[in-house]
């Protein structure tokens, strides 16, 4: 499934009618037609903050909660190509506003480099994960009526947890339309293939796959996970994604909620030449 997002506003690009155009009339999958036409940006002088404001208004009119829309955009847009390359002075920090108190949070070029591209590709065998699951969409999660936080809460109060040091997973699978449609989110841990599950727990089987791994910076969980997914959405190689199952890995680096580092594993085509066994 060849799904990407506009590298200016973050809009999912799913049909040719949404593609921007170059000066010679050819299409580009880097930008949408609303941001880029005939080889030029439609709003060449707009700032990153201006784009966030404009897109927040659009999402609000489409029914998304304003605070949720703004928070999502502030996590995603700074990693898109247009904004990553708009810093000719080589400044050493990237500012992302905190939607709760409108303060700015800065992280260094070293931190940013962890996010803008996968740190590695790796091929893993299949695995079985067990936990609490639900069906949802990105639109629902951004509306303020999402279920993901509730799943984490239910999981940690379920009484069916493994050892404290065991890794936890947030797994996304059974996609119906890539980033646009429904998917299953499961919050849980790895179990043996033949393990009998307690009542109320579900399982999913991830197939053997090659993954692009994006690693977050260290910081508060609520910040770094959103930033890392922003990097996934802004990643140039969206056409590598297979949507056979993606997951967040919370291991020993995630014990302190105020200083978390998370890996996000994105399933990609197995022909990726840099994949590791």
Q: What is the pLDDT of residues 171-194, one digit of tens each?
A: 999 999 887 789 999 999 999 999
Whether the per-residue pLDDT at 107 is higher than 60: the answer is no
Task: Check: CB of residue 231 under 8 Å from CB of residue 79.
Answer: yes
**Average pLDDT of span 30-45:** 94
**Residue-wise DSSP of 186-243:** EEEEEE-TTPPPPTT-EEEEEPSEEEEEEE--SB-HHHHHHHHHHHHHH-TTGGGB--
Q: Dmax over Cα atoms in the chain, in whole Å?
A: 62
Lowest mean pLDDT among 110-119, 188-197, 248-257, 268-277: 110-119
Cα separation, 30 vs 229, whole angstroms: 18
69: tokens are 């829309």
State pLDDT tens for residues 148-158: 989 999 998 98
Residues making up the chain, counted from first to last: 277
pLDDT of 134-143, one tens digit each?
999 877 877 6
Give the model confidence (pLDDT) of 122-132 as tens digits: 999 999 999 99
Per the CB < 8 A criterion, the answer to whether 183 and 244 are in contact is no
More confident: 259 or 271: 259
Percentage of residues of the chain with pLDDT beyond 70: 83
Asked if pLDDT for residue 102 goes beyond 60, the answer is no
Q: pLDDT band at residue 3, thresholds of 50, 70 and 90?
A: low
> By the 8 A CB rule, do 234 and 227 touch?
no
Residue 94 confidence (pLDDT)? 35
Model confidence, pTM: 0.69
What's the pLDDT score for residue 132? 95
* Per-residue confidence band for 105, with pLDDT thresholds at 50, 70 and 90: very low
pLDDT range class, residue 101, cuts 50, 70, 90:
very low
Residues 72-84: tens digit of each pLDDT:
788 778 878 888 7
């Amino acid at each position: 499934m060849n799904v990407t997002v506009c590298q200016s506003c973050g809009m999912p690009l799913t049909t040719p009618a949404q593609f921007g155009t170059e000066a010679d009339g050819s299409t580009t999958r880097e930008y949408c037609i609303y941001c880029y036409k005939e080889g030029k940006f439609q709003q060449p002088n707009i700032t990153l903050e201006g784009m966030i404001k404009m897109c927040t208004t659009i999402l609000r009119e489409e029914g998304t909660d304003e605070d949720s829309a703004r928070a999502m955009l502030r996590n995603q847009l700074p990693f898109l190509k247009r904004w990553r390359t708009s810093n000719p002075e080589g400044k050493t920090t990237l500012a992302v506003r905190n939607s709760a108190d409108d303060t700015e949070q800065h992280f260094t070029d070293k931190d940013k480099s962890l996010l803008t591209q996968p740190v590695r590709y790796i091929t893993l065998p299949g695995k079985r994960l067990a936990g609490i699951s639900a069906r949802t969409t990105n639109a629902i999660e951004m509306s303020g009526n999402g279920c993901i936080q509730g799943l984490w809460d239910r999981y940690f109060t379920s009484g069916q947890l493994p050892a404290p040091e065991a890794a936890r997973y947030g797994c996304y699978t059974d996609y119906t339309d890539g980033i646009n449609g429904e998917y299953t989110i499961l919050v849980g841990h790895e179990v043996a293939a033949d393990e009998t599950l307690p009542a109320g727990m579900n399982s999913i089987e991830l197939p053997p796959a090659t993954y692009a791994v994006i690693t977050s910076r260290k910081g508060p969980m609520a910040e770094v996970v959103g930033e890392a997914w922003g990097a996934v959405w802004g990643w140039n190689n969206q056409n590598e994604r297979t949507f056979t199952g993606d997951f967040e890995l919370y291991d020993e680096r995630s014990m302190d909620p105020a200083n978390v580092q998370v890996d996000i594993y994105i399933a990609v085509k197995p022909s990726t030449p840099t994949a590791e066994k």
